[in-house]
Amino acid sequence: MTGRTKQDELIMKRPCESCSMPIETGTYCQYCVTPTGELQSFDERFEKMVGWQQRQKPGLSRADAERDTLAFMAKMPAWKDHPRVVALSVD
């Protein structure tokens, strides 16, 4: 195989450690950081992700959106060790 394939382009991107969106550089995407480049607070991110869940799945209840969001955050390097995530992911 010669030349660049679609696969190569995918490998060049890496997921944001907070929301898994593909990014080219850094640790977090532009949506997960403050204007000064620091990771946003858990509450800020959580609120935005719950809102996103509810937009993706119209009719999803707030409780279900929160549960899905926490399940998602439990897999993300930026949040998996956060006390709020750990407390709710222990089964």
Binding region for Zn ion (CB under 5 A): 16, 18-19, 21, 29, 32
Q: How far is the CB of 78 from Zn ion (least distance, A)?
A: 8
Q: Give the dihedral of Cα atoms 39, 45, 49, 51; nearest 10 deg.
A: -140
Minimum separation from the CB atom of position 2 to Zn ion (A): 34
Nearer to Zn ion, 81 or 91 (CB): 81
Half-sphere exposure of 40 (CA within 13 A, CB side): 19
Measured between its terminal Cα atoms, the distance across the chain in Å is 47
CB 1 to Zn ion: min, Å: 32
